[in-house]
Every structure is written in structure tokens, then in C-alpha cells.
Amino acid sequence: MMTALCDARGLFLSPGMPSFPPMQLRLPFLLGLVLIWGLSPSTVHAQDINEQAVDASIARALNFLATQQQDDGSWRTEAWGESTAITSLAVMSFLAAGHVPNEGPYGERIRKAVMWVVDLQEANGMLVNLARTHGPMYSHGICTLMLAEVVGMMGEADAPKVRRALERAIRLILESQQYEKNDRHAGGWRYQVDSRDSDLSVTGWQVLALRAAKDIGCDVPANSIDYAIQYVKNCSVRGNKGFGYQPGNGPTPTLTGTGITCLEVCGAHHTQEAMDGAIWLDSNPLRERDSYFYYGVYYTGVGMYKIGGDHAMKSRKHLVDTLLPIQDADGGWTPTHGSERGAGRIYSTSLSVLALAIEYGYLPIYQR
């Protein structure tokens, strides 16, 4: 049984940055490092990100999202109508930028969206509104993560209902993990609650949801997290050269970011699989032409941020340099490949904001 959620969920700032001398003193100092230690100029330039431009990009994106919200609080996909998953991604993009329910310019929009998702919860705990979807566990994992992130921010009138919905949603994820599977797929999740195989893509959202829920006091058994970690490691490509969709598959940037994120979020910090995956991702960065580009924007952004150091700096600069030039005039992003086109601009815009806003540190799941 799930325990009551008794811990208040607050907002946390990123760990404090170290103190540096003024910029006019830092530039000669950094140049000296290059000359003395032989550091390549690209290492220094990886930190040269126009954060004001990032802030402005995020603000424009949130304004775009606000204009696209439906009267009932939901957001829609391009091809399939309103969606609990897309709505939850949009909610988290506002949270990631420091906005909370019931306060500020977007407060009521956030609250209305959260309650729209909660009101659609099914009897078994599933959070999905598209009966024809082929992958309800995708939606469920994303929505559960959103509830775990927002529950401590809700007002007194709404918080009990959101807590109950979260507890039921977590219970369903745990039950789904227990369905009998062979050794290659044990510990993971796939499209259906009772799937007999697993994939890293669906597993990623369930892992994030479990970790976020555990952090706020939900009863998530440690062996469930350990079981998931083992499945994620099974998806590591032989020789630890990235991660694939399922055990035995080749690596992609998006799935490598997913694998790294899962391990780091679960507390398996700097494992050989994750560190070698980060090295592989440095050499094989996400490109706009890649399949599931915006999905990869999110997971490579979070995963490499969790790894930290040069990997994080290079990844952030790459994402900023890739995303900002392709942002639309109205503040959104338009997906151009495969099924992401059907998911639409709310999907791509929300994931872009979630990646760009990592450094803000407002979403607890981002904490290192």
C-alpha cells in the first residue's frame, strides 16, 4: 500500500555557483589556463552561453503555450486531440521556469490543467484520455511525473485530490513492473500495463515518476528502483557505447540520453555505462534531423546535466545553439519529422523549454 504524502513539496534553487572574480579579471585568467595547461579554446567556449537569450526564448515559449491552452485546461496534439501527456508536459514547462499553481500570470492556467488531468484518471489509476492510443503507459508515466512534481505546490483545496491521484498512479506503475517477463526485459515497462516485454523509452518516464514520487514520501520500494536500474543497464550497448531501444539494439543519441538520465536519477551515479554513454554522446551529439529530436532534447539535456562537468557544459551549449535558431516567431517550435509531427507544437515546445530551463533548478527532478 502507498503511504500518505506528508512532505510538503517546495521549490529549490540550484546549488550555489562558486564565486568568481569580475569578468575583466576572469578573461586573462582563463586565457592563462589555455596557455599554461594546453586547454583547447573550445573547452572555454563551451561555457560561453547567452543566458539572456535563453531566458527570452523561454519567456516567449511560455507565452505561446498559454495562448494555445483550451478552455477546459487541456492542451492538444496536432493529430489526436487533447492529451493528458501533452498537457502534463506543458504544465511541467511552466513549473521548470519557476511558475506555480494559483500564483502569478500563469497560476490559474497551471491549476486548471493539473485538475483536468486528475479528473480523467481511470478506475485502475491510469492517467490517459486517448482510448485509441497504442501506448497508454507513455501518457501515464509523463502524467505521474507531473503530479509528483506539482503536488506540493497545490493549494489546500486541491492538494488532497492530487495526492490521491498520484498514489493510485504510482501503484499502477509498480504493479505493471511485476508482470512476468524474460531476463532481457525484466524490470522495465512497455506500452501496456500487462506488456510482456520492455523498452527504454517507456521505461524512462516510469523511472522518473517513481524517483520523483519517492523523493516526496511515496512508498516506492527500493527493489523496484534496483530492478529498473538493471533493465536500463541491459539496454547499454556492448562496450558501453551508448544505449539502445531494447537490449541488443544499437545506440541513438535520444536513447543514450534516456539511459544516462535513468541511471543518474535513480542514484546510480557515474556508472561505467552512464559515463561511457556520455563520452559516446559527446562524439555523436543530437541533431535536428535525428528521429525523435525533441524527445532527445529533453533526455540528453537532463542526462548530461546530471553527469556534470565538461559533458554538461558541452551538451548545454549544443542544445542552446541548436534550439534557439529554430524557434518560431510566435515562440513555439515546430517538429518536422515522423510521429513528432503528429504530436505537434505543444509537445516540441514543452520539451524544448524543459531542456532549456534545466539550469534554473526549479523542478526537483533536476536536482543533482
Per residue in 6-35, pLDDT (tens digit) is 333 322 223 333 333 333 333 343 334 333
Per-residue pLDDT, averaged over 325-353, amounts to: 96
- In CATH, the number for domain 50-366 is 1.50.10.20
**Band of pLDDT at residue 47, cut at 50, 70 and 90:** low
Average pLDDT over residues 162-191: 97
Q: How confident is the model at residue 43 (pLDDT cuts 50, 70, 90)?
A: low
Distance CA 48, CA 313 (A): 9
Q: Coil, strand, or helix at residue 76? A: strand
Q: Taking Cα atoms as reference points, which of 40, 53, 52, 59 lies closest to residue 314?
A: 40
Q: Quick check: 133 pLDDT over 80?
A: no
What is the pLDDT, as a whole number, of residue 299?
A: 98
Share above pLDDT 70 across residues of the chain, in percent, rounded to a whole number: 86
Predicted confidence at residue 239, as pLDDT, reads 85
Residue with cell 554513454: 277
pLDDT band at 46 (very low <50, low <70, confident <90, very high): very low
Give the pTM: 0.87
User: Is the pLDDT score of 290 beyond 90?
Assistant: yes
Which candidate, 229, 235, 215, 261, places its Cα nearest to that of 355?
A: 261
Least confident of 36-50, 52-66, 189-203: 36-50
Flag the least confident range among 2-6, 37-41, 245-249, 342-346: 2-6
Q: What is the average pLDDT value for the chain, to the nearest integer?
A: 88
Query: How many other CB atoms sit within 10 Å of the CB of residue 249?
Result: 14
Average pLDDT over residues 260-288: 97
**What confidence category does residue 240 fall into, taking pLDDT thresholds of 50, 70 and 90?**
confident
Model pLDDT, residue 17: 33
Confidence (pLDDT) at 48: 78
Confidence of residue 131 (pLDDT cuts 50, 70, 90): low
Averaged pLDDT, 235-244 = 92
Whole-number Cα distances in Å, 297 to 235, 274, 309, 313 = 20, 17, 19, 15
Give whole-number Cα distances, 233 to 34, 188, 248, 249, 272, in Å.
Answer: 37, 11, 11, 13, 10
Determine the average pLDDT of the residues in 33-57.
62
Q: Which of 125-139, 217-231, 246-260, 324-338 has the lowest mean pLDDT?
A: 125-139
**CA 270 to CA 239: how far, in whole Å?**
16
Q: Which amino acid, 203? A: T
* The predicted structure's pLDDT at residue 367: 84
Mean pLDDT lowest among 73-82, 165-174, 206-215, 324-333:
73-82
Q: What is the mean pLDDT of residues 126-134?
A: 78
DSSP code of residue 18: P
Give φ, ψ of 100 to 5 degrees.
Answer: -130, 160
Q: What is the mean pLDDT of residues 186-207?
A: 98
Q: What is the mean pLDDT of residues 202-230?
A: 97
> Which phi and psi (to 5°) does residue 252 adopt?
-135, 155
Residue 193 CA to residue 13 CA, distance in Å, equals 36
| pLDDT > 90 in the chain, percent | 80
pLDDT tops 90 at residue 122: yes
